[in-house]
């Protein structure tokens, strides 16, 4: 594979950027490859700096649900940029975006915009602690909530990919207040809530896990979580940074009909520009400064370009039939892959919720991090490299999701299935 320019950029990057990348999973270490440097994207496709074309299932790790360089998003960002890129003062698009989020996400009555998913989750747990006057937080093994100190305990995504148990630099005193328990495990959850409930400020959960690969919630997991936290005055936080506007217009809370107290958003609401948000019940959100005492701020928060891209994206997503179209494409891909796998004796399990899916290279049903971790990551690496050679760009880790966008049409799905048929046969 001709990749001279990617190699040259990577060599230079290694001199100036730790590991040559600005986020660890991009380094492709776990799939035994060097990163491909991307030059441009359009619709479902991207091109690397050496001119090779790929069908993209990373979608910037989820934000690009409309595909790359969607004309309405580009027009909105261009118009906003011509008016000025940042003011550090209130602007009208922030209010429009906040209103739209409150209208579309069932549990959100008020929302604060920030610059990343990490800022959103970090601020949400501070708010939950401030509101309840309690210190402990509960999270689930293999879920990833960004890289704030409190979350770097048995975390998913790059932390799981690189096999890092926690992180040096995170004080023990901080993570002593983080309890991490298995996903989908109601028995352990009940025990923890029964024994430590009055010290617990919040439970934070990915309502569909995406950062240990895709793991759907068991049928009673979210309803019990809601019921038991409410009974104990614990704030329930849905981290919908991936699932927000992905699995339904109103996110996982709409899909599963469970309302959290606070919701964290990011990715799609920025249409590919840096953004995050946390919102929920007015009674809790009113505790945020300057209305209340819980401090949180941001120089670029509510940025005109990011809010313009987010508004344009949400407007397209709000059109009738959008999620049905997305589901049809994802289902076609999933069915095609299932057909291919049926004829092969490969240890592969597929998990999918709407337009997010993962092929786990294991014989076990994947319901939590332990079962996800039973995957043969070396085999995934072989699959990834062979798919890349066929022009299919997948997440360079077993513990991530593949994202289907509205730009993935029949042509892209068929090309992907042809490649997968060839590659999966070659793995036997
Ligand atoms: C569920 C979830 N929460 C939080 C984050 C953190 O978001 P960001 O990378 O924008 O800080 C991510 C992704 O990185 C995520 O997938
Ligand atoms: N899984 C992460 C986010 O969802 C991947 C993004 C990153 O850490 O670079």
First-last CA distance in the chain: 23
Q: Decide: 356 and 395 in contact? Cβ < 8 Å.
A: no
Q: Where in the chain is the domain with CATH 3.90.1150.10?
A: 4-69+320-426
| Alpha carbon of 132 to ligand 2 centroid (Å) | 30
pLDDT attached to residue 285: 98
Answer yes or no: is pLDDT of 163 > 90: no
Taking each helix axis as running N to C, give the angle between helix 92-104 and helix 304-317, from 0 to 180 degrees, rounded to the nearest 10.
Answer: 30
Which atom number of ligand 1 is nearest to the Cα of residue 267? Answer: 10
Burial per residue of 293-306, b for 16 or more beta-carbon CB atoms within 10 angstroms, e otherwise:
ebebebebbbbbbb
Contact 210, 345 (CB under 8 A): no
The single residue of 29, 259, 267, 349 carrying the catalytic annotation is 267
239 catalytic, yes or no? yes
Looking up tokens 């995957």, which residue turns up?
Answer: 375
Report residue 40 as tokens.
């441009």
> What is the SS3 assignment for 318?
coil
pTM, to two decimals: 0.97
165: confidence class by pLDDT, cuts 50, 70, 90: low
CATH code 3.40.640.10 region(s) in the chain: 71-317
Mutate to test the pocket of ligand 2, among 25, 117, 167, 212 (most ligand atoms within 8 A of CB): 25
- Supply 87's token pair: 């003011």
Sequence-ordered strand ranges (E) for 166-215: 178-181, 200-205
Ligand 1 center from residue 241 Cα (angstroms): 6
- Specify the residue with its C-alpha closest to ligand 2, atom 6: 61
pLDDT (tens digit, 9 = 90+) per residue, 13-22? 999 999 999 9
Topology, domain 4-69+320-426: 3.90.1150
The CATH number corresponding to 71-317 among 3.40.50.1970, 3.40.50.300, 3.40.640.10, 3.40.190.10 equals 3.40.640.10
Measured CA distances, 87 to 78, 134, 298, 303 (Å):
16, 36, 12, 8
Ligand nearest to the CA of 147: 1
Contact of 353 with 327, CB cutoff 8 Å: no
**CA angle, residues 56, 57, 62, in degrees to nearest 5:** 115
Q: Which atom of ligand 2 is nearest to the CA of 242?
A: 4
Probe residue for ligand 2, chosen from 18, 19, 23 as the CB with the greatest number of ligand atoms within 8 Å:
23
Q: Beta-carbon neighbour count of residue 93 at 10 Å?
A: 22
Average pLDDT over residues 75-84: 98
pLDDT in tens, 202-218: 999 999 999 999 999 99
Number of the ligand 1 atom closest to the C-alpha atom of 239: 1
Query: In sequence order, which residues have a C-beta less than 8 Å from that of residue 181 and are 6 or more positions away?
Result: 138, 139, 140, 141, 188, 189, 192
Residue 57: phi and psi, rounded to 5, are -110, 10
Q: What is the pLDDT of residues 85-127, one digit of tens each?
A: 999 999 999 999 999 999 999 999 999 999 999 999 999 999 9
Nearest CA to ligand 2 atom 1: 157
Alpha carbon of 171 to ligand 2 centroid (Å): 23
Mutation pick for ligand 1 pocket among 59, 120, 145, 253 (CB with most ligand atoms within 8 Å): 145
Report, as an integer, the average pLDDT of 414-418: 98
Ligand nearest to the CA of 269: 1
Distance CA 400, CA 209 (A): 9
Q: Which of 233, 237, 210, 200 is nearest to 123 (CA)?
A: 237
- pLDDT tens figures, 250-305: 999 999 999 999 999 999 999 999 999 999 999 999 999 999 999 999 999 999 99
Residue nearest ligand 1's atom 16 by CA: 242
Partners of 350 in the beta sheet? 359
Q: What is the pLDDT of residue 157?
A: 84
The answer, yes or no, to whether ipTM is higher than 0.85 is yes
**Which residues, other chains included, contact 126 with Cβ-Cβ below 8 Å and sequence gap of 6+?**
294, 296
**DSSP code, position 294:** B
Ligand 2 centroid–CA 57 distance in Å is 13
Higher pLDDT among residues 173 and 89, named by residue = 89
Catalytic site includes residue 144: yes
Please name the helix (run of DSSP H) or strand (run of DSSP E) that holds residue 264, with its range, or none: strand 262-266
- Distance (angstroms) between ligand 2 centre and the Cα of 396 equals 11
Rounded-to-integer distance, Cα 169 and Cα 62, Å: 29
pLDDT averaged over every residue in the chain: 97
pLDDT recorded at residue 57:
98
Question: In the predicted model, is pLDDT for residue 166 greater than 80?
Answer: no
325-338 confidence digits (pLDDT tens): 999 999 999 999 99
Which tokens hold the place of 242?
């991936």
**Token pair for 241:** 């940074």
- Measuring from atom 4 of ligand 1, which residue has the nearest CA? 145
**What is the per-residue pLDDT across 359-397, written as a single tens digit (0 to 9) for each?**
999 999 999 999 999 999 999 999 999 999 999 999 999
Candidate list 48, 141, 185, 239, residue with the active-site label: 239
């Amino acid at each position: 594979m001709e990749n001279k320019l990617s190699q040259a950029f990577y060599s230079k990057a290694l001199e100036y950027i730790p590991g040559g990348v600005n986020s660890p999973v991009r380094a492709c270490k776990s799939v035994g490859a060097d990163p491909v440097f991307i030059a441009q994207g359009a619709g479902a496709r991207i091109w690397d700096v050496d001119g090779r074309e790929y069908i993209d299932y990373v979608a910037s790790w989820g934000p690009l649900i409309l595909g790359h360089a969607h004309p309405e998003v580009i027009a909105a960002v261009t118009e906003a940029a011509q008016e000025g890129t940042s003011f550090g003062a209130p602007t009208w698009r922030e209010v429009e975006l906040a209103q739209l989020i409150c209208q579309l996400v069932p549990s959100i009555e008020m929302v604060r915009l920030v610059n990343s998913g990490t800022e959103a989750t970090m601020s949400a747990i501070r708010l939950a602690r401030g509101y309840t006057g309690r210190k402990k937080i509960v999270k689930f093994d293999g879920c990833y909530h960004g890289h704030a100190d409190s979350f770097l305990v048995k975390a998913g995504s790059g932390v799981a990919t690189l096999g890092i148990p926690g992180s040096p630099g995170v004080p023990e005193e901080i993570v002593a207040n983080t309890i991490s328990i298995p996903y989908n495990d109601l028995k352990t959850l009940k025990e923890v809530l029964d024994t430590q409930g009055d010290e617990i400020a919040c439970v934070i959960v990915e309502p569909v896990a995406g950062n240990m690969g895709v793991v759907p919630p068991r049928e009673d997991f979210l309803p019990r979580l809601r019921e038991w936290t409410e009974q104990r005055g614990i704030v329930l936080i849905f981290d919908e940074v991936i699932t927000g506007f992905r699995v339904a217009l109103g996110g996982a809370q709409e899909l599963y009909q469970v309302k959290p107290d606070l919701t964290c958003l990011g990715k799609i609401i920025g249409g590919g520009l840096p953004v995050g948000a946390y919102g929920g019940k007015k009674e809790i959100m009113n505790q945020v400064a300057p209305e209340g005492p819980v401090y949180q701020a941001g120089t670029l928060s509510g940025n005109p370009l990011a809010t313009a891209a987010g508004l344009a994206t949400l407007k397209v997503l709000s059109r009738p039939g959008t999620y049905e179209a997305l589901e049809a494409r994802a289902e076609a891909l999933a069915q095609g892959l299932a057909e291919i796998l049926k004829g092969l004796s490969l240890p592969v399990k597929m998990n999918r919720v709407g337009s997010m899916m993962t092929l786990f290279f294991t014989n076990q049903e994947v319901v939590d991090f332990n079962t996800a971790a039973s995957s043969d990551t070396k085999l995934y690496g072989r699959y990834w490299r062979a798919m890349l050679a066929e022009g299919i760009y997948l997440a360079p880790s077993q513990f991530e999701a593949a994202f289907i966008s509205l730009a993935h049409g029949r042509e892209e799905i068929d090309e992907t299935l042809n490649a997968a048929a060839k590659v999966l046969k070659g793995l036997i």
